[in-house]
Amino acid sequence: MKKADFITIIIVAAVVCGFAFIPGAWDWFKTTTENHGLLMSFFKFAILGTFGEMLALRIREGVYMKKGFGLLPKMLVWGVLGVVIASAMIIFKAGTGALLEKGFRLENASTWISETDLSWHKFIAALCTSVLMNTLFAPVFMTFHKITDIHIAETGGGLGGFFGNRLKIRETLSKKINWDIQYGFVFAKTIPLFWYPAHTITFLLPSTLQVLFAAFLGVALGVILSIKK
């Protein structure tokens, strides 16, 4: 175990202990999440999503950071994507309930996802929401994230290069993405085998914890993708 590993463990332990033992820390977190949900989503994903990529790099290459990694651009992209994910969760929770009511004639289905106690109704709503969100939204989200990753790598990993160069979406889609992996593994395997059940659990949690748990799932997926590579 390297020195960087000890430092990482200490930082993670300090954050966990801070929320566990500092009076009012967890209440502040919940209140701020309720009052400023999208802003908090930005910071949750900026920190945890980037940390997941750093863990993935540690597994693949033995280091948490290397030249061209693009720490600040990655944090910015993850933060923006966090806002998009949080928005999608709100949209699909409401939309799935409306679909179950109007399309399948399930009375009061729009209220199932908001039930405080676990029930079969809430599980059905959570599962349907997860399947719809990950089928309709996730592939576009994942592909855009891949495009930004390639852009960061090709522009040197700095904010100047990131903003100073045009995002070549058409060229990246046609020539630079390995679709055997992107479709054959990321879409075809991680979505049904990981994201469907993972986000079902997410939607069963209290609303103040859903985005945070979703951000932690990004860390977990980073590790899974590293093992695959």
198-221 tens-digit pLDDT: 999 999 999 889 999 999 997 887
pTM over 0.85: yes
Closest CA to 72 of 14, 185, 148: 148
- pLDDT tens, residue by residue, 148-199: 999 999 999 999 999 999 999 999 999 999 999 899 999 999 999 999 999 9
Residue 134 burial by Cβ neighbours in a 10 Å radius (0-12, 13-18, 19+): buried
Q: Is the pLDDT of residue 229 over 60?
A: no
d(CA 86, CA 40): 10
- pLDDT tens, residue by residue, 116-146: 899 999 999 999 999 999 999 999 999 999 9
d(CA 139, CA 1): 36
Q: What is the pLDDT of residue 191?
A: 95
**Amino acid found at 49:** G
Q: What is the pLDDT of residue 218?
A: 78
d(CA 25, CA 130): 30
Average pLDDT of span 65-92 = 96
Calculate ∠ Cα 156-40-140, nearest 5°. 55
Q: What is the pLDDT of residue 143?
A: 95
Q: Is the pLDDT of residue 82 over 90?
A: yes
Q: Is the pLDDT of residue 225 over 70?
A: no
Percentage of the chain lying above the pLDDT 70 cut: 97
Percentage of the chain lying above the pLDDT 90 cut: 87
Q: Please state whether 31 falls in left (phi above 0), alpha (psi between -120 and 50) or beta.
A: alpha
Closest CA to 81 of 142, 128, 126: 142
